[in-house]
């Protein structure tokens, strides 16, 4: 960039190992706005520099010398970094034979010839240090691999990911929209997307009731002082919408549901015999995400959490955690996920993140989560310093159909909020005791889970989830009334059906149903009408035979009730 665009100011360029979409980015201020057409030009120059086999050289110099060097180069961003992060001695890196110098901890590869398998990907906007009040910058994303073969495989996966992109499929299949005039990060669920969401929520609510959860509903807004008590004002304010004042009282939109469920708990006195109490809510939350971080359904400003909070005694918390993990695996497998990665996020040695509570409380909480995973025989990776500010957590990531990991389920231990809100239950000794809380979300958020499902299935949902389950396709107008009768009978049986009675050729009708990824098509001609039958066509297998409507209805019923992931029943039909 310094070579192609003199006057470029360099910011920061970290690796993004936690992000499956990108390998790294660099934030900078260029003399002009960059476009996608610039990326191949920049990449070509990178390859030319790499082939020259220039050595990277590190020097340790004084902070004052580093500030002098970057000031002379008119790089104020680097000066700021040196001021903020540098000690008395700082390390800088040169590329011999080029004008490049950077303030960096390192280490680096020894020479540019090591850099062979890389690719620039895309551009976006960014703010310096993530602060919307600071300088607007341009961000260049790229990726790099040890070998060209690995890069080629990743590019192939990325192309497949673009084909499955939920934002594109959401528009093509008429599932949802995001409309600029209403606001970024706000989701409009269309009828077809709403049909899938209803199936998701109906299934989950049924399982919650079966497992002893009580369904609750809470407000979207609360007094600001509530968030001060909970610790969110102190530790989470940047992600909350600004307060609004009503009759000299300040309110905030809720970023999460937990303080509201605590309010339900506190509304009555509880005995140890009442516990555990399990409250569940599909509650809409609001977070003030920066526009540059928004990404379709995956990161929004308004979303619905499938939230639950379990209030229990310290003696029973491990069992509740194990039940939550079991519940999570059952839900994720029901929706078609089979491969998982589990992480245990703990406090670690980082004292800068505003963690609440004593070391003893943290040790007990981490032990409960660890013991639960070990008793279930679930392998996990320990993530130091990644806990929530109020307690450690278990995160379950799913692997989708093309091998990408998505963070969905979380199970969190919380000893802080019961303390801060002074929760109590009366124990066997007839004295007041402090309960503990378990936060858990299985979908994570309905929006994100739905987005992952769209990409996992590439929009071709199994029958039980499909927004339109059956397309009734008459070959000629003479059969239209029969088609309407068939459609009405299937609707009466609880199926989602569309009858295409437009004056089009049957090939066009089948093509349209295929593009809409409808699982079953019933093709009706004069013969089917005379015999009172239907010719059944399945989305991926084509024609599967002629049968009576009762036979088809029974086959579909079995597929839906079993929540089958492929459109084949036990008989193979």
Average pLDDT of the chain, as a whole number: 92
pTM: predicted TM-score of the whole model, two decimal places: 0.83
Does residue 456 carry a catalytic annotation? no
3-class state of residue 107 by DSSP: coil
State yes or no: pLDDT of 331 exceeds 50. yes
Does residue 190 carry a catalytic annotation? no
Cβ contact 408:396 at 8 Å: yes
State yes or no: pLDDT of 197 exceeds 50. yes
Q: Which of 119-123, 198-202, 402-406 has the highest mean pLDDT?
A: 198-202
Catalytic residue among 38, 102, 306, 307: 307
CATH number of 470-561: 3.40.50.800
Does residue 104 carry a catalytic annotation? no
Does residue 305 carry a catalytic annotation? yes
39/352: higher pLDDT: 39
Catalytic residue among 139, 252, 439, 440: 439
Confidence (pLDDT) at 388: 79
Cβ contact 369:331 at 8 Å: no
Report how far residue 41's alpha carbon sits from residue 437's, in angstroms, rounded to the nearest whole number: 55
Catalytic residue among 164, 252, 287, 553: 287
Does residue 287 carry a catalytic annotation? yes
Does residue 393 carry a catalytic annotation? yes
Fold of 168-457: BirA Bifunctional Protein; domain 2 (3.30.930)
Query: Average pLDDT for residues 305-317, to the nearest whole number?
Result: 94
Report how far residue 211's alpha carbon sits from residue 472's, in angstroms, rounded to the nearest whole number: 39
Point out the least confidently predicted range of 90-94, 219-223, 230-234, 366-370.
Answer: 230-234
Point out the least confidently predicted range of 179-193, 279-293, 507-521.
Answer: 279-293
3-class state of residue 9 by DSSP: strand
Does residue 192 carry a catalytic annotation? no
Query: Average pLDDT for residues 248-266, to the nearest whole number?
Result: 95
Report how far residue 238's alpha carbon sits from residue 240's, in angstroms, rounded to the nearest whole number: 6
CATH 3.30.930.10 residue spans of the chain: 168-457
Report CA-CA distances (Å) from 550 to 258, 319, 471, 554, 566. Answer: 48, 46, 16, 6, 21
Burial tier of 197 (Cβ tally within 10 Å: 0-12, 13-18, 19+)? buried
486/358: higher pLDDT: 486
Query: Average pLDDT for residues 136-159, to the nearest whole number?
Result: 91
Cβ contact 201:446 at 8 Å: yes
Confidence (pLDDT) at 571: 47
State yes or no: pLDDT of 511 exceeds 70. yes
Catalytic residue among 301, 393, 440, 448: 393
Report how far residue 191's alpha carbon sits from residue 513's, in angstroms, rounded to the nearest whole number: 17
Torsion angles phi and psi, residue 479, rounded to 5: -100, 0
Query: Average pLDDT for residues 445-454, to the nearest whole number?
Result: 97
Handedness of CA 387, 389, 391, 397 (dihedral sign): negative
Report how far residue 238's alpha carbon sits from residue 232's, in angstroms, rounded to the nearest whole number: 9
CATH 3.40.50.800 residue spans of the chain: 470-561
Which residue in 573, 555, 257, 302 sits closest to 412, CA to CA?
A: 257
Lookup: tokens for 20: 């499956």
Strands 89-95, 244-246: pairing is unpaired
């Amino acid at each position: 960039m310094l070579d192609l665009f003199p006057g470029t100011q360099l910011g920061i360029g970290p690796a993004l190992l936690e992000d499956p979409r990108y390998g790294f980015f660099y934030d900078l201020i260029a003399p002009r706005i960059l476009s996608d057409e610039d990326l191949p030009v920049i990449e070509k120059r990178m390859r030319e520099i790499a082939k020259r086999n220039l050595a990277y050289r590190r020097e340790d110099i004084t902070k004052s010398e580093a500030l002098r060097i970057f000031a002379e180069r008119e790089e104020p961003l680097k000066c700021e970094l040196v001021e903020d992060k540098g000690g008395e001695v700082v390390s800088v890196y040169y590329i011999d034979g080029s004008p490049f110098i950077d303030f960096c901890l390192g280490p680096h590869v020894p020479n540019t010839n090591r850099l062979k398998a890389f690719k620039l990907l895309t551009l976006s906007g960014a703010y310096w240090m993530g602060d919307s009040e600071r300088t607007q910058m341009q961000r260049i994303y790229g990726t790099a691999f040890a070998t060209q073969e690995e890069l080629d495989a990743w590019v192939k996966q990325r192309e497949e990911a673009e084909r499955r992109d939920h934002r594109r499929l959401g528009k093509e299949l008429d599932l949802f929209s995001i409309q600029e005039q209403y606001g970024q990060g706000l989701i409009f669920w269309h009828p077809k997307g709403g049909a899938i969401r209803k199936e998701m929520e109906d299934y989950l609510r049924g399982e919650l009731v079966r497992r002893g959860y009580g369904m609750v509903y809470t407000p979207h807004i609360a007094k600001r002082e509530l968030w001060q008590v909970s610790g969110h004002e102190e530790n989470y304010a940047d992600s909350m919408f600004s307060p609004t004042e009503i009759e000299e009282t300040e309110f905030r939109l809720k970023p999460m549901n937990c303080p509201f469920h605590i309010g339900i708990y506190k509304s009555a006195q509880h005995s140890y015999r009442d516990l555990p109490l399990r409250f569940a809510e599909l509650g809409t939350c609001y977070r003030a995400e920066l526009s540059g971080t928004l990404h379709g359904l995956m990161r929004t400003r308004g979303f619905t959490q499938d939230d639950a909070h379990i209030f229990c005694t310290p003696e029973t918390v491990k069992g509740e955690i194990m039940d939550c993990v079991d519940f999570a695996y059952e839900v994720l497998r029901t929706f078609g996920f089979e491969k998982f990665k589990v992480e245990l996020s703990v406090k670690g040695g980082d004292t800068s993140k505003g963690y609440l509570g004593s070391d003893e409380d943290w040790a007990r909480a981490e032990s409960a989560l660890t013991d639960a995973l070990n008793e279930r025989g679930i392998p996990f990776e320990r993530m130091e310093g990644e806990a929530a500010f109020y307690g450690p957590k278990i995160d379950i990531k799913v692997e989708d159909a093309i091998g990408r990991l998505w963070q969905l389920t979380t199970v969190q231990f919380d000893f802080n909020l019961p303390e801060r809100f002074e929760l109590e239950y009366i124990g066997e000794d007839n004295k007041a005791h402090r309960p503990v809380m378990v936060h858990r979300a299985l979908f994570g958020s309905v929006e994100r889970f739905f987005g992952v499902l769209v990409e996992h299935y590439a929009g071709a949902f199994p029958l039980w989830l499909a927004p339109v389950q059956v397309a009734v396709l008459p070959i000629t107008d003479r059969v239209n009334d029969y088609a309407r009768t068939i459609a009405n009978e299937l609707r009466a049986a609880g199926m989602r059906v569309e009858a295409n009675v437009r004056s089009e050729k049957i090939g066009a009708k089948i093509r349209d149903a295929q593009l809409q990824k409808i699982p079953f098509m019933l093709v009706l001609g004069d013969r089917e009408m005379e015999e009172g039958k239907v010719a059944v066509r399945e989305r991926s297998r084509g024609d599967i035979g002629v049968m009576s409507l009762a036979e088809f209805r029974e086959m579909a019923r079995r597929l839906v009730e079993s929540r089958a992931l492929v459109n084949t029943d036990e008989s193979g039909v």
